[in-house]
Amino acid sequence: MDKMPRWADVILVPLINISLAFIAAGLVVMAIGQNPLDMMYYMVKGALGSSSGIGYTMYYATNFIFTGLAFAVAMHAKLFNIGGEGQAIMGGVGAAIVLLAVPWPHWTLALPFAILGAAALGAAWAAIPAYLQAKRGSHIVITTIMFNFIAAAIIGFLLNGWMKDPTTQNAETRNFGEGAHLPTFHEMLAPFGIEFSKSAPANFSFILALVCAFLVWILIWKTRLGYQIRAFGWSPSATAYAGISSVRVTIIAMLISGGLAGLLAINVVMGEQERLIKEFVEGAGFMGIAVALMGRNHPFGIVLAGLLFGMLNQGGFELLWEMPDISREMVLVIQALIIIFTGALDRMTRDPLEKLFIMMRNRREAA
């Protein structure tokens, strides 16, 4: 029997957590002499109050969904892939190579190849740590985190060298051109007569991210490979006894993970910047870990958590405009508090609630 009714598990607990988070953040805001109600209002309004705000929220969420899924797939095999950052960087290089190599006539043609390029290099970047883990026992946390630095150095080298646009000072490639332009939500919704902000960067990648989330769900829970990955995660010795190769599962899980992280580049590099720049991942690879943890490594949870993180990013930036006395660092504190309460301190509310529900049920049954 479940400890709690489902509605309490899915709605009540997160709701209490979010309220606690806003109370804690509100206290901090009050401590610096600002109105906490304004803070909450502007954060929510900034993230969801206009189509431009929604567009930015969705744009950030797309990144977090990709890296969150990447982390979750590896985590189901109990592989802590902290290298999403580096894999996303290499994904950007892969996408850029594909998009620069051919003068693409239309995005529908360019997109599949860009996805292949981004996923292939992202996966390749995860393959080496995966191999070292599977064959040599080098710990995946150490190797993936080191590969982040190597990736940062490689993109720096490429953007200062042969991928650099010679006509500019900046370390960036030339523009990918009109044919590689992904439709934004403004362009996608216009035929339906829906007015969506023209400047918001949300693009087709958001839909791609949702599709990926669905595919990951099928992979993990509906396929034989997903079963092997989960079984390996729970007990490597049992899976070995069952005749499943640990090397194969480790490498495949990491390839999928790296490929998903690489897809972040479709959103940022192909969809937003339309050229390769150096600092395009901006910590989304690491944020993906928090997103996956908050989403309990389930694709649906990751989409929701990704949207929440996207709201925090966009709402936090809006806060800077509306309340000039709140600094950039203060916004970070508020965001961190919300993440702590909704993610890390989840059991703090869940456990007492479970006890409460069991107590109430026992009393009812006794009566």
Partner 1 sequence: MKLIKTLLGAAAIVAAASTAFAEGHGANPAIIFDLGGKFDKSFNEAAFTGAQRWAEETGGEFREIELSSEAQREQALRRFAEQGANPIVMTGFAFSSALETVAPDFPDTKFVIVDGYVDAPNVRVVAFSEHEGSYLVGVAAAMASESDVVGFVGGMDIPLIRKFACGYVQGVKSVNPDATVIQNMTGTTPAAWNDPVKGGELTRAQIAQGADVVYAAAGGTGVGVLQTAADEGIFSVGVDSNQNYLHPGSVLTSMLKRVDNAVYEAFTEGTMLSTGVVVMDTSTGGIDYAVDEYNADVFTDEIAAAVEAAKAGIIDGSIVVHNYESDNSCPVE
CA quadruple 31, 33, 34, 36: dihedral positive or negative?
positive
CA distance 298 to 302: 6
Are the beta carbons of 179 and 113 closer than 8 angstroms? no
CB nearer to partner 1: give 13 or 155: 155
- The 3 state secondary structure assigned to 241-252 is HCCCCHHHHHHH
CA distance 158 to 364: 68
From 89, 94, 88, select the one nearest 114 (Cα to Cα). 94
Give min distance, CB of 229 to partner 1, in A: 33
Give min distance, CB of 25 to partner 1, in A: 16
CB nearer to partner 1: give 172 or 228: 172
Give min distance, CB of 155 to partner 1, in A: 8
Q: Which amino acid is at 232?
A: F
CA distance 43 to 25: 12
CA distance 251 to 220: 15
Are the beta carbons of 217 and 300 closer than 8 angstroms? yes
Q: Any bridge partners for residue 203, and if so which?
A: 184
Give min distance, CB of 282 to partner 1, in A: 6
CB nearer to partner 1: give 229 or 291: 291
Tell me the C-alpha to C-alpha distance, in Å, between residue 365 and each of 1, 353, 356, 359, 360: 14, 18, 14, 10, 9
Summarize as ranges the residues that interact with partner 1 (CB under 8 A): 35, 37-38, 41, 45, 56, 59-60, 152-153, 156-157, 160, 168-172, 199, 201, 268, 272-273, 275, 277-280, 282, 313, 316-317, 320-322, 324, 327-328, 331
CB nearer to partner 1: give 42 or 71: 42
CB nearer to partner 1: give 320 or 353: 320
Tally Cβ neighbours within 10 Å of residue 241: 9
CB nearer to partner 1: give 22 or 232: 22
From 307, 289, 264, select the one nearest 344 (Cα to Cα). 289
Give min distance, CB of 252 to partner 1, in A: 31
Give min distance, CB of 100 to partner 1, in A: 16
CB nearer to partner 1: give 9 or 322: 322
Give min distance, CB of 315 to partner 1, in A: 13
Q: Would you give the DSSP letter of residue 135?
A: I
Give min distance, CB of 109 to partner 1, in A: 25
∠ CA 338-303-299, nearest 5°, is 120
CB nearer to partner 1: give 157 or 234: 157
